[in-house]
Amino acid sequence: MKVEQFLARHLYTTKKVSLQYIGSFHLSADINIPFDTDVEVTLPADSIQFEYNDKEPKDDSLIESMVLETKKIKSLIASDLESYSILSKQFLNIGKPLYIKGIGILKKNQAGQYEFTQGPDTGSRIGEAPSQSGVKENSDIDFSSPAKNNKRIQWVPLIFIVSTVFVLAFFYYRYNQQQEKLIPVADTLSTPPIKDTLNATTPDSITAINRKDTAQFTIVLKEYQDQVAANASYKKLSNFGHVLMLSKDSTHYNITMSFKNPLSDTTRIIDSLTKIFGKGIHIAP
């Protein structure tokens, strides 16, 4: 089962679900989702509210629910959710919206504020209890129990997850430090009042300049000569809903991400993606 489905169902059940370091979603107390019906239920507008909190702790209630359902070790569940939250925040910081099926769309505007829009696909079918047949659903992030036939293999995913979380946390800390250093600079500069230096530029002309500077461009994250490796990488990253796999021919496969931002943002976006995916990221010709 996908992470979004766990998040949506937990929200419908407990009226609240949290994303670590991002914030929490709240469902109106007077909304009750009947899970035992086959009829689709559409939530009224503004039934779900988002509350931003960059120090939001882990959701212990959600973790316990996932442990009971997946039979997976609690520490691994907590690490998987923390990794999902960190990567989600990185994508939000570079201007990509976060789509959570059954809840809605979260994005960060130009002023640095988080905006939430309730999705049209909210209802009982998203939140209904999982099948008890024992068949595992396809998921980009696998919450099934680790295999027991090889104890040594069991530690490989844990080591990988811990290493990934450590690296991402380090870059996240460095990014915040750089942002804090930039804030005092504007205060120490002695500049004329804005109304004196920009009085010749009207709001209409500013809008025209911004519109002219905005363009659609594609960034190549990974390049592969083998379709199997390309498919594996695409499956790992497709959970965010912004990644595409393009093939030039049978020996060239690219994992890409499209943007519609001011051209002046390209360097910042490439630097941020390089911290997440490593070197070799470039704009597609």
DSSP the chain: --HHHHHHHHHHHHSEEEETTTEEEEE-TT----TT-SS--PPPTT-EEEEE-TTPPP-HHHHHHHHHHH---HHHHHHHHHHHHHHHHHHHHTT--EEETTTEEEEE-TTS-EEEEE-TT-SHHHHSPPPSS-PPPP-SS--SPPPSS-HHHHHHHHHHHHHHHHHHHHHHHHHHHHHHHHHHHHHHS----HHHHSTT--HHHHHHHHHHHEEEEEEEEEEES-HHHHHHHHHHHGGGS-EEEEEEETTEEEEEEEEEEEGGGHHHHHHHHHHHH-S--EE--
Query: Domain ends where: 113, 129, 144?
Result: 144
Same domain, yes or no, for 101 and 12? yes
The answer to whether residue 173 is domain-embedded is: no
pLDDT in tens, 253-265: 888 887 777 777 7
pLDDT in tens, 115-157: 999 987 776 555 444 433 333 333 344 444 444 445 555 667 7
Same domain, yes or no, for 91 and 215? no
Q: What is the pLDDT of residue 79?
A: 92
The answer to whether residue 158 is domain-embedded is: no
d(CA 267, CA 282): 10
Query: Domain ends where: 90, 121, 144?
Result: 144
Same domain, yes or no, for 33 and 140? yes
Query: 201 pLDDT exceeds 80?
Result: no
* Between 52 and 187, the higher pLDDT residue: 52
d(CA 254, CA 190): 47
The answer to whether residue 230 is domain-embedded is: yes
CATH number assigned to the domain comprising residue 262:
3.30.70
Number of independent structural domains in the chain:
2
Same domain, yes or no, for 13 and 97? yes
The answer to whether residue 43 is domain-embedded is: yes
Query: Domain ends where: 144, 175, 191?
Result: 144
Same domain, yes or no, for 124 and 30? yes
Residue 20 pLDDT class (50, 70, 90 cuts)? very high
Same domain, yes or no, for 127 and 52? yes
* Stated pTM of the model: 0.48
The answer to whether residue 151 is domain-embedded is: no
Domain that holds residue 240: 208-283
Query: 227 pLDDT exceeds 50?
Result: yes
The answer to whether residue 115 is domain-embedded is: yes
Same domain, yes or no, for 28 and 118? yes
The answer to whether residue 221 is domain-embedded is: yes
The answer to whether residue 185 is domain-embedded is: no
